A = this chain, B = another copy of it.
Amino acid sequence: MLTKEENEKLCRIEGEAPMGQLVRRYWMPFLLSSDLPEPDCEQVRVRLLGEDLLAFRDTSGTVGLIDELCGHRCADLFYGRNEEGGLRCIYHGWKFDVNGWCLDAPTEPRDSNFRLTVRLKSYPVAEQAGVLWTYMGPPDLKPELPDFEFMHVPEGHLYASWSTQACNFAQAIEGGIDTAHSIFLHSTLESHRKLDEWKKTSTVSNGSGSIAQGRYRNRDNPPLLHAVDTEFGVLVGGQYVSQEAEDYWRFNLFYMPFYSSPPGGTGTKLVHAFVPVDDVTTARWSFTYNLERPHAYRDVMAMRLGSGVHVALVPGTHTPQRTRANNYLIDRQEQRTLSFTGIAGIGEQDFAVQEGMGTIVDRRRERLGVSDGGIMQMRRRLLKAADDLEEGSEPYEASHGGVYRVHAGDTMLPADVKNWAEEPKAKAALAPKW
C-alpha cells in the first residue's frame, strides 16, 4: 500500500517529476539496431519520458536522437529527408546532423551565420548488443553503459525484442520481479494436475527451470520472500521450504532503475527492461540469451512471432496484437480446459494483469502479503534514490556499469541458512558466465 503522494512519486516520470530525473541518470534502450537497419534509412519516432523525439541513422551509419520538430518553424522532421549526413526538413530545406547542429539553412542569405545559432535538442546514442541506448541526463554526468551479461555473449546467443505496454513502468517492474505469479499466470491446468506427482518425485519438471523447482515450487508451497538491497538494486530470494536439510531458493533481480531478471530455464537467461515512454506507457524489452549456444533458427522465428516472453506484434510496428481493447483475445474455452488464463503468450498474460489495473494503479487499494516482499523493497529503493537525488546525491550504480554483472538463478541452500545472499552457492548461482 502506498499513499497517493508516494504513488505519484513512484510513477510519474514526465517533466520535472523526481522519478523522471532519477531515470535520466541511466542509459536506456530505445530501439533495436534493426529498427534503423541501414544508413540513410527511414527515421523513426521515439517517445521517452514524455518527450517526442526522432531517431535516424545518417549516411555514415551514426545514429542520432533529436527533437522531433525542426528548429526553424517547428515542422515535423519525421517527414524530412534523410540524406547526405543529416535530416533535411521538407518545409524550407533546413538540415540537421545527429548532434542537432544545423548544417544548412538554404532560405537564409548565403553569407549568414544564423544557422550556427540553431541547434536541436539531441541525446547521445550508444549501439551495443544490437540495441540503441540513450542517456537523457546532464551531459557532464554521462556514465558508462550498464555491463549486462547479455552484452558479452557470442553472436547469435541473444534475442531481443520490445513492445509498447499501456501502463506505467512501475507496475510493469512489479510484474517483472514477482516470483510468485508464474505458477499461476503462466501455467497450464496440466501443471496443476501434476502437483501430486511433483510432491512425490524430483524427476518431473514443470517444463521451466531446474528439475529441483518441480519438486518444491508448486501451488501448494508458496515461497517465503526475502529481499535485500544490493549495489545493483534489489536481490529477491524466494525460499521454498522443503521440510528437508536444504530448501529451494530462487533469485529474482531488480536492477536500477527499471530492469528485472527472473530465474529462467537451464542455460537460458532473461532480462527485462521497462523503459518509461510516458507516465502511462512503457516499452517492455525482453533480452533472451543462451549461455551455451546460439539460438536455433526455429526458436528465433518463434520468438519473432511472439513465443516465450516475446509479444506478438502488429507487423511493421512494436504494437501488440493483443490489447486491453480486445481483451487480449482471451479464449474462455481454452481457459476452462487448457491454460490458467486462456490468453496466448507470456508477455500478453503479463499485460492482462499489469494493464488491467488501469494505466496507473491506485496502490491505496492493494493488500500486500508475504509474497510481495520483493516489490515492497523495490519501491523503497526507487523512492529513496529519487529522494536522495533531490537532495543532491547521485545514484552510485548509474555510473558503475560493473555492478550489473550478475544474473538471476536458483539453488538449494541449508534450511537453517542465515545470510542467504552471502552463501557461496547463492553467489555462484548469481555469477555471470560471460
Identify the A interface with B (CB < 8 A). Answer: 42, 69, 71-76, 78-79, 81, 89-93, 105-110, 112, 114, 117-118, 174, 180-181, 184-185, 219-220, 222-224, 327-328, 330, 332, 335, 340-343, 349, 352-353, 356-358, 361-363, 365-372
- Within the complex, the shortest CB–CB distance from A224 to chain B, in Å, comes to 7
* Total identical chains: 3
Q: Is the interface of A mostly helix, strand, loop or mixed?
A: loop
Q: A106 CA to B221 CA in the complex, in Å?
A: 8
Q: A82 CA to B348 CA in the complex, in Å?
A: 20
Q: A42 CA to B332 CA in the complex, in Å?
A: 7
Of chain B, the residue at the smallest CB distance from A67 is B365
Interface centre among A78, A357, A367 (most CB of B within 10 A): A367
| Contact assessment for B107 and A340 in the assembled complex, using a CB-CB cutoff below 8 Å | no
Beyond A71-B367, A112-B369: 19 further Cβ-contacts under 8 Å? A42-B332, A72-B367, A74-B361, A75-B353, A79-B330, A79-B341, A79-B343, A79-B353, A90-B343, A90-B352, A92-B185, A93-B184, A106-B222, A107-B223, A108-B369, A109-B222, A110-B220, A114-B367, A114-B370
- Within the complex, the shortest CB–CB distance from A275 to chain B, in Å, comes to 22
Q: Which residues does chain B contribute within 8 Å of A181, judged by CB atoms? A: 91-92, 107
| Contact assessment for A369 and B105 in the assembled complex, using a CB-CB cutoff below 8 Å | yes
- The one of B107, B185, B327 in contact with A371, judged by C-beta atoms closer than 8 angstroms, is B107
On whether A357 and B75 interact (CB within 8 A), knowing A181-B91, A219-B93, the answer reads: yes
- Within the complex, the shortest CB–CB distance from A322 to chain B, in Å, comes to 11
Q: A356 CA to B106 CA in the complex, in Å?
A: 21
Q: A184 CA to B72 CA in the complex, in Å?
A: 14
- Within the complex, the shortest CB–CB distance from A19 to chain B, in Å, comes to 20
